[in-house]
Amino acid sequence: MSNAPRVEDMLKAGMHFGHRTNRWHPKMEQFIFTSKNGVYIIDLKKAREKFQEALDFITKLVAENKSILFVGTKNQVSGPLKKMASAVGQPYISGKWLGGYLTNFAIVKKSVKKYLDLMEKRDTGKLEKYTKKERLDFERDINKLELRVGGLTALNKMPDALFIWDIKEEVTAVKEAQQKNIPIIAVCDTNVNPEEVNYPIPGNDDSTKTIKLVLDAVQEAVEDGKKNVK
């Protein structure tokens, strides 16, 4: 099983810095160690325990050949999250979450199929017979679909879990997952309700060092699961 990063490494990455004390959610109190200069400091020992639970769950899911949909659309996380999910062959949404990804999954599947068909036609030269204007239209369609469903080509059924970066930002994703009873793993800063998710990872949700630290550990957990696929 992959281990959560050491407390020292979490500290170095600034994972302990929460939001300002005037922007907090009382349900996060259990994970708050103290406050300093008007900013909450997260208890990293407790955070590490929760992080470990989340990593164990990720490894178990992947070992059971199940899929995790990675969701992170904030500027600082969308690139690294897309890169990590692609590296381990898991689906992702790094652009805007469009309402209905989970509640209207049949339509999403149709869009994925259309996207793959167009890509295949483009790559094998089947679009060459069209006029320049028509080819441009196809190209626009491909780009539009890529933004919407490009990260979902590995998903042929509903995801078995969601990994969300910042549940305040991804409210619709959280609601849809809850509606469909899909477990949620999420990084929870001091301004959100950790009870909205099944596996909260208490920590700073803005720091680029924290993003790297968390995603590296998650990638390792997925790879561990792949080695033990049942």
Between CA 146 and CA 156 the distance in angstroms is 16
Which contiguous run of DSSP H or E holds residue 20? strand 17-20
Mapped onto helix, strand or coil, the DSSP state of residue 214 is helix
The DSSP annotation for 148-193 comes to HHGGGTT-SS--SEEEEE-TTTTHHHHHHHHHTT--EEEEE-TTS-
Q: What percent of the chain has pLDDT over 90?
A: 73
Between CA 226 and CA 36 the distance in angstroms is 42
Count of CB atoms situated within 10 Å of the CB of 206: 14
Strand arrangement, sheet containing 184-188: 92-93, 68-71, 161-165, 184-188, 199-202
Between CA 183 and CA 159 the distance in angstroms is 10
Model pLDDT for residues 146-161, shown as the tens digit of each residue: 989 999 998 889 999 9
Residue 210: both structure tokens together: 């924290």
With bands split at pLDDT 50, 70 and 90, how would you rate the model's confidence at 18? low
pLDDT of residue 63: 97
Whether the pLDDT of residue 34 is over 70: the answer is no
Residue ranges per structural domain of the chain: 7-102+158-227, 105-152
Model pLDDT for residues 51-99, shown as the tens digit of each residue: 999 999 999 999 999 999 999 999 999 999 999 999 999 999 998 898 8
pLDDT of residue 32: 75
Overall pTM > 0.75: yes
Strands 161-165 and 184-188: parallel
Model pLDDT for residues 37-56, shown as the tens digit of each residue: 777 778 889 999 999 999 99
Q: Which fold has domain 7-102+158-227?
A: Rossmann fold (3.40.50)
Which contiguous run of DSSP H or E holds residue 112? helix 105-123
Model pLDDT for residues 197-214, shown as the tens digit of each residue: 999 999 988 889 999 999
Whether the pLDDT of residue 230 is over 80: the answer is no
Mapped onto helix, strand or coil, the DSSP state of residue 68 is strand
Q: Is 24 left (phi over 0), alpha (psi -120 to 50) or beta?
A: beta
pLDDT of residue 218: 97
